[in-house]
Amino acid sequence: MRLRRSLGATLGALALGVALPATADATLGYATCQYGDPAQKGQLDAPDSRECIEVPEVGPGQSTDAWEFENNTFAEACLFPEAGCQGERTQVPKGEKATADLKLRSVHFHDEA
């Protein structure tokens, strides 16, 4: 009887896991950066790895860039000095920080296959 319940619970959990939509395009973890004057800390949680992400705090009309980027995700981050992931790309491996003087306005995350 116990085996039957355990097997039923396991199969039920497996079916539920298959039925729920997954955020397969989200990168696990988070990234942080500084922005503004006075400096504030911004955070991107589980960023989408399919698209270019504009750093929200330094969007159009803002005169400041973001800096002190820290990649606490399981993906490589590519930082760009311009909106729309334009300009010279700087790669920041997972779990590492960009140099303190690097300025950015957009980022793209690349999950490792």
Neighbours of 16 (CB within 10 A): 9
pLDDT in tens, 19-39: 344 456 788 999 999 998 888
pLDDT in tens, 78-109: 999 999 999 999 999 999 999 989 999 999 99
E-state strands within 51-101:
53-54, 67-73, 75-80, 90-92
Sketch out the chain's domains with CATH numbers: 29-111 (2.60.20)
Does residue 10 have a pLDDT over 60? no
pLDDT in tens, 43-66: 999 999 889 999 888 877 777 899
Neighbours of 64 (CB within 10 A): 14
Top pLDDT among 90 and 15 is at 90
